[in-house]
Structure 1
Amino acid sequence: MGGKGASVLANSNPILEISKLRIEFDTPRGVLQVVNAIDLTVREGETLGLVGESGCGKSVTSMSIMGLLPEAVATISGGSIRFRGKELTTLSDKEMRKVRGNEISIIFQEPMTSLNPVFTIAQQLVEPLRQHKRLSKRERRERIIEMLRKVGIPRAEQIVDEYPHQLSGGMRQRVMIALAMLGEPQLLIADEPTTALDVTIQAQILELMRAMKQENGMAVMLITHDLGVVAEMCDRVAVMYAGQVVEVAEVRDLFDRPKHPYTKGLLSSLPTENGRKQQLQSIKGSVPRPNELPPGCAFAPRCPNVKPVCEIKLPDMYVTENQYCRCWIYDTNVGGGAYGEATVAGG
């Protein structure tokens, strides 16, 4: 389960540090807070999984890292995004273009809409090489064909001049991986990279991503709602709910002893591996909309462990057994120590 493991990665330097990040959207219903003071760290060489239900803020967070939030409606209203010590939120468009596709790359979840249907594969893959590498036209073409071969695309010399609609979904996603890898990034963000693919192709794409990561030694932020993919690919996991990170743990620890009631609910909804019949549990209710968030913990209306304080005050992030959990049950004044020793993160 997972990648290198805690023993190797615990001493790795952070490559990406997100601190107290807040993102607001200006909508006809008013200003909505879609990401609320999240903290995240990606270490060198690790794969961090970012999981949660649709609408929890995972993709918005990734777009903020890339500087791709829609300026007309989205605003980073607070916090910091630092890549190798460089503050990304204050970079100009020109400075951000030097980072995007070069030091940090992204794979989007739907290759058919991410690739422009009126341009050939070569015309779309050449852009990061034009932007970031000093190569001749011939060298750029050779580099593109070489990368297409690396990601397992047959007939690369012919496919390079074809259009996206001429390729299967799996081949288009391989093209997206090739596009992301051309700049030799230090950090790859993969936003639901296998959602639209069948199971066989999904396994091939995940294995390809793992191989490319090992070859380049890059860090990966893998955004997904699929806990099976997390178990297979990730070293650590951050769980998001309603715009907040509610739990962070090494992948094995998360599956063996989840701390947050929401994480426990997610895991209890999974079928068993040994094929035994099991009454799958569901989490009652639904994720609140950004304009309908309760004053306290956002999960309180759905939580089986809810206490009066949960409905009026947001809990701190607590550290217990080397896991981070945002829940009042780990506060000794509320939970009474019944859930083990815990301290406030950063306190």
Structure 2
Amino acid sequence: MLLTVKSLSCVVGFLLINTIDIFADKNMNRFKVVVANPSVPKIAYDILQKHCDIKTSTVFSRASILQDVVGADALFWASKIRVDKELLDAAGPQLKVIGTMSVGYDQFDIDELKARGIKFGNTPAVLNNAVANIAVMLAIAASRRFTEGRKHIEEGTWINYFNTQWMLGQDLTGSTIGIIGLGQIGQAIAKRLKGFDVGNILYTGHKEKPEGIELGAKFVNLDNLIRESDFIFLAAPLNNQTYQMCNSDFFSKTKKTAVLVNISRGQLVDQEALITALKTGRLFAAGLDVMTPEPLNTDNELIKLNNVVLTPHVGSATNDTRNAMAELTAKNILRALGGAEMFTPVF
């Protein structure tokens, strides 16, 4: 089921009634839930505290969280700290539920969670629109040289007379779009780009998708997508197959006028290879909401390049979206603790 921020509130209202029924029928004791981030929206606390005792981890360090998770029945995860055997051992055998306030879950040892029978859920769909909007913004900003233009303003080098060749960028209209990973976010990006009258939409992945046909997008192999695309959007999850897939070989095949947009994970890109491609003119520009490391070091070469637009991993950072993500995570946890299936289980 495809969810939006608005539709989620209706659905979770129904789930709240069901969850309360579950707890009332079984007369369950209160559970201990550890929230691994003090900035989680209040709505999550409002939902959980009716049936749970909450401990919030206030220090962003692995050592602190290893202490905080001891005795937890459930974890509300909004952190990049890895959840592995060591952390699960620290929590103890009573830990049976984890909800992550994210779509991606590359920071979790999935095999270890499955081996321990821990129920695990994420927050797909509710952030699609916010992330897709950022992706389009980055594509426009990078292709129209926003970073370089801003520097001209700041440095007083703005050419204040008619020059038809000054600050020329690339057009979305009529262009060929390549989307690597036509999941829900990739589809949301494609829908928006159709409004810019793009020429073609290509995508690649494990297999052709019916949603691609509905969007009028063409399924191609990765090599063809790289060679033919004017804009390449990275919307694939991080895994062994996608890790540093955008490497020197990748950039050797791109058009010199191409623009790369990454709203997935920084590790999909070999960052040194990207920097080389941008500096040598092998790639026209890049728009990045994700990078390596995060936060990016202030002396990183990416910051110095005129043909890069950077945002600090804020794809889902709107009030409505983050509240919806927190609400869904809390509902997932509460449902699982009550013995019901999570609303959006990974497994």
Which category of TM-score, normalised to the shorter sequence, fits these structures?
Answer: under 0.3
When normalised by structure 2's length, the TM-score is 0.26
> Between Structure 1 and Structure 2, which shows a larger proportion of helix residues?
2
When normalised by structure 1's length, the TM-score is 0.26
